[in-house]
Structure formats: C-alpha cells, structure tokens
C-alpha cells in the first residue's frame, strides 16, 4: 500500500471521518469532520466510500510527500494547492506521483480544508471510527512532521470531474437557526426576545469543541444556581456564567452543567460554523 509522509504538519491537522456516534453513554463524544459537506465532497470526487478517513487542516494547510503514486483532492476552505511546486486544481482529483510533495497552502478564507486520498487513510479505527478526538484523546494524534499515513486500497468508484458539486464559500456572517430548549426557561423573557435582535462575533477561543461567541449582550438568567450534569448533543448552545452562548461542535463533551438555551440542528449552519473565522459576525434566528 502507498503511504503519505508528513513534511509539514500545519497548525492543527487531524484525521477525520464521519465520527463515532452512539457512544455518549460511555462518555465518548461524536467527533468527526466539522465541515461535513466539504469532507463528503472530497471523498465523492475520488470515488471513495462516504466514511473514508481524510485530513482536516486548520488555517495554514499541510505538506505531504507521496511514497507511492496516489490521487488526492482538496476541498473546504479555498487555498492554493501545489504538486512538486506547480499549481494544481482545488476541488478536483489530482494525481500525486511517487516522491512528489503535495503542498496545501493557507486558507484564503474560512478555516478548515479537507485533504482526501483515493482509498482513504488506513489508520487503525477506535470504536468504529478513525477520527481524532481532541477532547477524549481517542483516535490518531494530530499530525506531526515525519509521521507516515498508510493509504487504503482504492475502490471501484471513478474519480469525478472538478465541477461535480460546488460548495458555498465561508460565511461573511454566520446565521445560526436555533430551536429553543430544553433550558430556555432559565433565562428572562426579555433576554430571549433580545437574542433574536442581537449580534455576536466568533471568539478566537473557539475550537473543535465549541464555537465561542463574544461582543454581544449577555443572556440574563431568571434562575440562580447551577444544573446537575445532563446530556449534550451536537449543536447545543450552552450559556456559561458570562452569559455568552457557546455552540458545541464535533468534539463537544457529552455532559454539562450550564443551561442549554437551544440547539442548532446539524446541517449547513454547523458546516458554516466550522469555517467561521474569529471576528465573523454571528446572529441567531428562530429555527423553522
């Protein structure tokens, strides 16, 4: 089997697939690719199974040397892609000859790019997934220079043309549909009414665990005290003591003690949250 040698790991590059749902009762988060549409497109472009493991980069890309000829595709945050120093297509299947270096450059907008290889990455699965989970430490560690990644055997699916499935660009404003509950009653009616008129921004403290907000008005509680720990789901919007909402993403904890004012449903809005840079304006709207 072919291998990819990491020559530049980037700020944070992890192996991700569709995650390991169904283990919250064991204290294990879902994990998986944050921008699910971009991850899925990268695999479709190469004819991979939909759960094939790929790389998720953060902001400044990654550099990989092919130790055998492979085909790769880069999606997600737009960026320059080069093979052996020459520009090649972003969002398309690209041949990477043995010995050549694939250089995925810094994101021009957005945060996270996805690097898939035909055949997927054959790292050992843990609880049915190859995803790196930064909260629990399950799965392979984040990439480091000198690490080698084994590539799986290619499947029968064809490599698709470049224009098969365009994706929206990273958001200039992040609009999150929010279904209230289960603990909306912990906040004053005036505070909830003001939530729909308020504007926040993405905090630099955001990560794969959660998108933190700043700059907006704090939600005011109608109750004192704290909740016992209770289960959390992807997209839950928890409100810590500072009153500023936190949107839980793929590596979120499975329990929490702060009230959840509502939930952002999985789909395009959470994919957009994966690409929202610090400072991006954030608004919450009523989910339909």
Of 83, 115, 150, the residue at which a domain comes to its end is 150
Q: Which CATH number characterizes residue 240's domain?
A: 2.40.100.10
In a domain, 108, yes or no: yes
**What is the domain extent for residue 32?**
3-150
Q: Quick one: 144 and 258 in the same domain?
A: no
Cis amide prior to 186 (ω within 30 degrees): no
What's the pLDDT score for residue 1? 72
Any domain includes 201? yes
What domain count does the chain have? 2
Provide the pLDDT for residue 162. Answer: 60
What is the side-by-side strand order in the sheet with 113-117? Answer: 14-16, 54-56, 113-117, 70-76, 94-96
Confidence of residue 170 (pLDDT cuts 50, 70, 90): confident
Distance in angstroms (rounded) separating the CA atoms of residues 4 and 115: 12
Both 62 and 131 in one domain: the answer is yes
- Let me know whether 30 and 116 are in one domain: yes
* Residue-averaged pLDDT of the chain: 95
Predicted confidence (pLDDT) per residue in 110-130, tens digit: 999 999 999 999 999 999 999
**Do the domain assignments include residue 169?**
no
Tokens (6 digits) for 249: 């993403």
- 88: which 2 tokens? 């090649």
Comparing 243 with 23, the larger pLDDT belongs to: 243
Residue 165, pLDDT above cutoff 80:
no
pLDDT tens by residue, 217-275: 999 999 988 899 999 999 999 999 999 999 999 999 999 999 999 999 999 999 999 99
On whether both 185 and 265 belong to a single domain, the answer is: yes
Q: Is residue 167 part of a domain?
A: no
pLDDT digits (tens, 9 = 90+) for 146-157: 999 999 999 887
On whether both 218 and 90 belong to a single domain, the answer is: no
210 and 262 share one domain? yes
Same domain, 122 and 211: no
pTM: 0.96
Confidence at residue 222, expressed as pLDDT on a 0 to 100 scale: 96
Is there a single domain that holds both residue 21 and residue 114? yes
Domain-embedded: residue 116: yes
**Spatial strand order in the sheet of 148-150:** 86-87, 79-83, 101-107, 62-66, 3-8, 148-150
Residue 245 lies in a domain: yes
CA-closest candidate to residue 198, choices 176, 181, 182: 176
Q: Are 119 and 3 in contact (CB under 8 A)?
A: no
């Amino acid at each position: 089997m072919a291998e990819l040698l990491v020559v530049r790991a980037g700020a944070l590059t992890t192996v991700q697939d569709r995650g390991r749902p169904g283990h919250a009762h064991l204290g294990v988060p879902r994990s998986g690719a944050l921008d699910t549409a971009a991850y899925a497109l990268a695999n479709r472009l190469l004819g991979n199974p939909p759960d094939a493991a790929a790389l998720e980069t953060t902001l400044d890309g990654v550099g990989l040397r092919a130790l055998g000829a492979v085909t790769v595709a880069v999606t997600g945050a737009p960026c320059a892609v080069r093979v052996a120093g020459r520009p090649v297509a972003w969002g398309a299947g690209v041949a990477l000859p043995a010995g050549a270096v694939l250089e995925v450059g810094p994101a021009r907008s957005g945060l996270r790019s996805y690097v898939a290889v035909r055949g997927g990455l054959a790292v050992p699965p843990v609880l049915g997934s190859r995803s790196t989970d930064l909260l629990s430490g399950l799965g392979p560690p984040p990439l480091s220079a000198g690490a080698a990644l084994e590539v799986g055997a290619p499947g029968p699916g064809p490599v698709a043309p470049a224009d098969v499935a365009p994706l929206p660009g990273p958001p200039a404003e992040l609009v999150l549909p929010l279904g209230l509950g289960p603990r909306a009653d912990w906040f004053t009616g005036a505070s909830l009414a003001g939530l729909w008129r308020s504007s926040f921004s993405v905090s630099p403290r955001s990560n794969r665990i959660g998108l933190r907000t700043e700059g907006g008005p704090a939600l005011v509680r109608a109750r004192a005290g704290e909740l016992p720990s209770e289960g959390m789901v992807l997209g839950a919007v928890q409100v810590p003591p500072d009153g500023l909402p936190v949107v839980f993403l793929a590596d979120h904890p499975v329990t929490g003690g702060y009230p959840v004012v509502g939930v952002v449903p999985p789909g395009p809005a959470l994919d957009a949250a994966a690409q929202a840079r610090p400072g991006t304006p954030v608004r919450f709207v009523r989910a339909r």
